[in-house]
Chains A and B, each alone.
Chain A
Amino acid sequence: MVAYALQQLINGVTLGMIYGLIAVGYTMVYGIIGMINFAHGDVFMIGAFLSLISLTLLGAFGLTFVPLALALTLVLAVALAALYGWTLERVAYRPLRGSFRLAPLISAIGMSIVLQQYIQIAQGAKNKPILPPLPGGLRLMESDGLVVQVTWTRLLIVVVTLAVLGAFTWLVSATPLGRAMRACEQDTKMAALLGINVDRTISFTFVIGAALAAVAGFMFLLNYGVIDFFIGFVAGVKAFTAAVLGGIGSLPGAVLGGLLIGLIETFWSAYFSVEYKDVAAFSILILVLIFMPTGLLGRKDVEKV
């Protein structure tokens, strides 16, 4: 039993890290412009597809050294997805800044549909599988005939997520760009009075959020080996749940919320029912919204104009 639970813990943490990376993008954009970017999940999906295309192409060109192929793919997916994030803000949100509050939200839902349909048309509606590039794993223990193992893929996910979150934390807390982002989050008008280009800072926020989502998409592809144009919706709503659970606007909260949602979903699937795993996640969203609207690490005084 211990072995089974341990395996679930490993699976849950992996899934939670993917959710956490996506959740950071939701919470960052909310913090700085006070809107929920409902197309963010689809940027994650785009990141997964970019990874798939890149891996396939590199394979076709005869690049067989897996670590290099993975590294190139990650860089490519992150760079192109960042471009998607930047374009999204320029095309769909910036023209609506200063409009009524629901306008960018509706625009975001529209962009979500656009991105899904675009991928469905361009890549087809069927599941896209890949051969696992990193087969095998690390056997931790064996009991009652059950092998507990961390696959190389999961190990990679944990290492990459920690590295990316580390770099991201450094960026936000210790660089001029990160300070500018935090300043805009606290008082946009004052940030401008100190010479901060607010529009550019908002663009950067979308670029960074999209880059993190692309990392998540890359790892989702490696972990599950199969994707389709609709994965962004489900993962997006769960990551949004994670951001709300952690306290929307709080960066550590987004990561914590992601881990919790990943763990809850995995253990629920393992011990109760796989069919209803989404119900577990969304019940949490409803409970949090009713009883703890500021989330675990959220601020009580959040009020956006």
Chain B
Amino acid sequence: MSGPLLKLSGVTAFYGAIQALKGVDLEVAPGEIVTLIGANGAGKSTLMMTICGSPHARHGQILYDGRDITALPTHEIMHMGLAQSPEGRRIFGRMTVHENLLMGAQVVAMRNYAATRDMVFTLFPRLKERLTQRGGTLSGGEQQMLAIGRALMSQPRLLLLDEPSLGLAPLVVRQIFGAIRQLNRDTGLTVLLVEQNAFQALRLAHRGYVLVNGAVTMAGSGAELLARPEIRAAYLEGGH
């Protein structure tokens, strides 16, 4: 159990001819909340997707729990204990909330389903009320809760959370961030969090990385990064 749960070294990725990641090094230790902040188009979501093999990294290496997952197909990676709540939520709009949660539990044994679902309902009681409703009819905040809940249904060791606060009311954001903190503290869930809302993300996270144009320019503890004047200028002031 020593060593990082996730380790990226020299990872590059391309979308067609465009290089989105230019040699990223990053580590997440077990039990940590690590956040990745950066401007729009810096490559944060690409990094999250590259970890899951969609697209595959062109150079470099991605280790998960000591195993090289760089070249594995996405569905195999997702059987290893990672889950992602992706950018734009991507819930299944024509499936019910219940079916969306079942989809999340696809990779684990059904006997744990009820217990895991109850845990998700404790975090997000709204999902329980909406259980038979179609995903597409939920509000933005509820859809975000569903996206996170669906990811949790696979009982992951590492949760990749992409922009959970995007477009949500401050009250809902606080609720979701509270849920992440609670999961981390109570179950030891490891979290890699991408956020534009840098202030809240850095306060929540143990450590952070700053991504600029596809490369990591700064790294440090959440408090350290919060105190850096260039971070304040670029991501915090005039922000939230």
Residues of A within 8 A of B (CB): 176, 179-180, 182-183, 186-187, 189-198
Contacts and interface: CB of A to CB of B under 8 A. Distances in A.
Given A183-B95, A186-B93, A187-B90, A193 B154 contact: no
Contacts of A180: 106
A194 B154 contact: yes
Interface of A is mostly: helix
6 contacts: A176-B102, A186-B93, A192-B54, A192-B73, A196-B75, A197-B73
A61 B95 CA distance: 50
B107 interface: yes
B52 A193 contact: yes
Contacts of A189: 54, 90
Find the residue from B79, B92, B94, B150 having the highest chain A CB count within 10 A.
Answer: B92
A196 B105 CA distance: 11
B25 interface: no
Interface of B: 52, 54, 73-75, 78-79, 84, 86, 90, 92-95, 99, 102-104, 106-107, 150, 154
A198 B92 contact: no
A186 B92 contact: yes
A179 B153 CA distance: 16
B78 A195 contact: yes
Interface of B is mostly: loop
Contacts, number: 56
A-B pairs with the 10 shortest C-beta distances? A195-B107, A195-B78, A192-B74, A190-B90, A197-B75, A186-B92, A195-B75, A195-B79, A192-B75, A194-B103
A192 B79 CA distance: 10
Contacts of A183: 92, 95, 103
B84 A193 contact: yes
A35 to B, nearest CB: 20
Contacts of A195: 75, 78-79, 106-107, 154
